[in-house]
Each structure stands twice: as structure tokens, then as C-alpha cells.
Amino acid sequence: MIRMTMDDGAEIAVYHARPDGERRGGLVLVQEIFGVTDHIREMCDEFAAEGYEVLSPALFDREHPGFESDYSGPQFQRAVQLARELHPFEQSLKDAQTCIDALKGANDSGGPVFITGYCYGGSVAWRMAQISPDLAASSAYYGSLVPTMFKDEAPACAAIAHFGRYDDGIPMEGVEALIAKAHPTAQIFVYEAGHGFNSDRRKDYHEASATQARERTLMLFKACGG
């Protein structure tokens, strides 16, 4: 973990994974509501093994420094409170942009910068694809705001979004409406899985879907200069 100063002057923790071998580009990896957990750090390390320099900001450090939660019990309720009540979503977008800026300037050529995120982070990743001019591509996993609040605007960069058909929190009607938008910069994928299918720590983990989504994510990044 390193410390980075954000646009509002707050200094927050950021997990920094250095690339193995030649640097393909930068990647901002955005957490679930549960914090920068061991699972999120593992995801960062896996992308670093593919050649990406990864930054994953601890978004809730202002409200609850060092917060990490499991998927049930009192910690889960705290995670929901942080995400829905205490921490402004707009601040998460600004923090993501600060990390994008840092990665852009990390080597002489700048290199492409990508973003991915899971659940809460999936919504951040999709929204950043719409509003940031500095991204080469985005891969958003089961973000609940993607087929609702942020469905109408086409991403400004190449973007993919992943959803589970049996996700109780993201009705397929909304996903199908998003698909019907036919945004020219986006592809929407539906998997025979539930919410959180990418995490092997969760009951809805679905290995085949997680593997396919990861392959699609890496293919997208490589197709866009990574």
C-alpha cells in the first residue's frame, strides 16, 4: 500500500502493483463496497502479472480508514452504509481520475490507461468510461448503476460490461434495455451466474464465467494498446 493525495487534499491508501516484465500500460482497479480486500489485491497482482501497473484506491479511507469487510454480518451493513450514505459517488470518480492521471505520467510515453471494477467499482469503471478523456478501455463487472442511472450515455472509450443472469440486485430487464441501446463503443455480456461471480470468496462464484470475463477483459485491453 502507498499513500496518494487526491483532488480534495485527502491522503488515502492505494494498493500499487508493479508490472511483471515490460509495462503494457496502467490500470485502475476499483473495489467492491467491501474495501481493498485480499481479493481485490489478488486481482491487482494478477493484472500486474500480465504486464499492467495497477492502482486500487481505498475509496472509503476518508470515512473509515483501512476499512475491509467480509460478505455478511455487521461489517456488511457498514459497507452498505459507506457506499450508499457516507461516501459520495462523485468522489470515487474523482479518486479514479487521480489514479488515471498518475498512471498516465508513470513513464515517458504515457502509455494507455485502462479501468476495471467490481460491483460498486463496476459502476465507477463504466461511468469513468463515459466521462474521462484519458482511458483507452473499460471493463465493468456487475455495476448496478450501469443499466439504470448511466445507461443512456455511450462510453467515450471502448467498454465492456459483465452481468450475471441470476443477479437478484440487477434485474435482467434493465440489462436488456441497456443492450437495446446498442452503444457503438460498448459490448454487454450476460453470464449464467449470479452477482459477484468473479470472486472465489463469494457463494455466487462461477469459475467458468469468471474465466471468460477475464479473457474478454484482457483481449479488450490488448486490442486497445495494452
* C-alpha triplet 2, 120, 12: angle, nearest 5°: 20
Q: How far apart are CA 41 and CA 46, in angstroms?
A: 9
Residue the block writes with cell 472509450: 157
Taking CA atoms, 47 is separated from 23, 43, 110, 160, in Å, by 11, 6, 18, 17
Q: Pairing between strand 137-141 and 158-164?
A: parallel
Contact predicate 17/99, CB 8 Å: no
Q: Which of 61, 95, 167, 204 is catalytic?
A: 167
**Cell output for 41:** 489485491
Which DSSP string corresponds to 162-220? EEETT-TTS-HHHHHHHHHH--TTEEEEEESS-TTTT-TTSTT--HHHHHHHHHHHHHH
Q: How far apart are CA 114 and CA 130, in angstroms?
A: 13
Q: Is 167 marked active-site?
A: yes
Q: Which of 44, 119, 204, 206 is catalytic?
A: 119
Q: Which of 39, 87, 162, 195 is catalytic?
A: 195
Q: Is 195 marked active-site?
A: yes
For the annotated catalytic residues, the residue numbers are 119, 167, 195
